[in-house]
Amino acid sequence: MPETTRGQGSRIAAGSDVEAVGQWLTEYRASLQTQRAYRREAERLLLWLAEQGLGLAGVRRDHLVAFEAFLADPRPRERWIGPPRPRHAEEWRPFRGPLAPASRRQSLVILQGMFAWLAEAGWVAHNPFRLMRDKRRRLDNRQGGIERYLERPLWAWFWAWLNRELNRPAEEGASPRQRFEHRRRRLVFGFAYLLAPRIGEMSAAYMGDFQRREGRWWWRVTGKGNKTAVIPVPPDMAALLTEWRVGLGLAPEPLPDDATPLLRALDGRRGLGDNRLYRLIRDAFREAADTLEAEQGEGGRPWAMRLRAATPHWLRHTALTHQAQAGVELRYLAATARHSRLDTTARYLHAEDEAWHHQQSLHRLGADADRDEPV
């Protein structure tokens, strides 16, 4: 990878762009999930720059435009795009597919912050993002309402499908492994829908994180920014937890000091990592999409396409959107989401959209029976 020549103004002990970026990433060591996300975006940029024969110090504004276009369509596909694989595997690729507009914005927001830090550290002479006249519009990540979620009818169908799949093994004499996998899948999606966790929070959850106080269940979670919160657990989640534990041969309720994983591998003891959990959720969405299309034909194709596009983070969006639609107050919704800003949570409120759509439906072609005759 091309290296840039450092002048006397560098304020960090780094000998290469990779080392400089590594020092920036250490600033996020308190939040491993954030650090992983930032590392991914920085790595994509460094790999792309290497293909152009560039280092960080040589990045100009026009390079940023070209890089954003690349994020939308990484080519050649065989070089950049592939299924999830361990980072050290030969088949590993930086992308799962082209990035959607929101993901491209997020990538540029992260990289803008990285360049600001590197400029302050004296590693690069300037931050090229500051030359973008439309920077605020392009990089403002506070966009409109959330759209990447499953609508209520689609979620209802999906949850019914999960339960149908759970009951089918018993009818067909399935193996213990198959029954275990179906119970785990139901817990995963129920957990995601009822408590709106991030995927890293799900994989890191322990049994003892669920505790009963004065007859009510609570979930203790340490999430983004290493912040800890205690979230009310609805009855349906408490029931799922009990069913899961009994299926594992455990007592119905966990003890407060139970530090064993909530979500487990096939041996029933080891925890699930982020990558395995991600694949489990995506596989379920794809299976459901195939079933939906097989059952409903062309009529089910739009919903099937939504399911195939869905990622684990859609479950968090789905949970918060449906809570908002059910009338959960904004302050409680923000507490469940663990957002620091109410305007972030407000993106899940679709009441204005529904009211607007209703009002617009009053505007009709032709004369209505109740209208006065034209004069």
Res 350: pLDDT: 56
> Residue 250: pLDDT above 90?
yes
- pLDDT tens track for 164-220: 877 775 556 678 888 899 999 999 999 999 999 999 999 999 999 999 988 899 999
Mean pLDDT within 237-245? 95
Q: Which of 103, 102, 80 is nearest to 92 (CA)?
A: 80
Residue 102 has pLDDT above 90, yes or no: no
Of residues 349 and 369, more confidence is placed in: 349
Distance CA 275, CA 88 (A): 14
* pLDDT at residue 357 in the model: 55
pTM of the model: 0.61
Q: Which range among 19-23, 274-278, 337-341 has the greatest average pLDDT? A: 19-23
Distance CA 204, CA 220 (A): 11
Instruction: Please report the domains of the chain, with CATH numbers, ordered by start residue.
Output: 17-139 (1.10.150.130), 152-357 (1.10.443.10)
- What is the b/e burial string over 300-335, where b = at least 16 CB atoms within 10 angstroms of the residue's CB? beebbebbeebebebbbbbbbbbbbeeebeeeebbb
- Residue 118 pLDDT > 80: yes
CB 83 within 8 Å of CB 279? no
Per-residue model confidence (pLDDT) at position 5: 45
Q: What is the pLDDT of residue 354?
A: 56
What per-residue confidence (pLDDT) applies to 1?
44
What's the pLDDT band for 67 if we cut at 50, 70, 90? Answer: very high
- Contact, 270 vs 264, CB < 8 A? yes
* pLDDT at residue number 220: 94
- Sheet of strand 210-213: strand arrangement: 210-213, 216-222, 228-232
pLDDT of residue 3: 44
Radius of gyration of the chain (CA): 24
User: ∠ CA 62-63-64 to the nearest 5 degrees?
Assistant: 90
167, 171, 176, 177: CA torsion to nearest 10:
-60
User: What H or E segment, with its residue span, contains residue 219?
Assistant: strand 216-222
CB 312 within 8 A of CB 282: yes
Please give the residue that has the higher pLDDT: either 45 or 31. 45
Is 326 or 115 the better-scoring residue by pLDDT? 115
Top mean pLDDT of 87-91, 238-242, 324-328, 351-355 is at: 238-242
Neighbouring-strand partners of residue 206: 261
C-alpha–C-alpha distance, residues 102 and 120, integer Å:
27
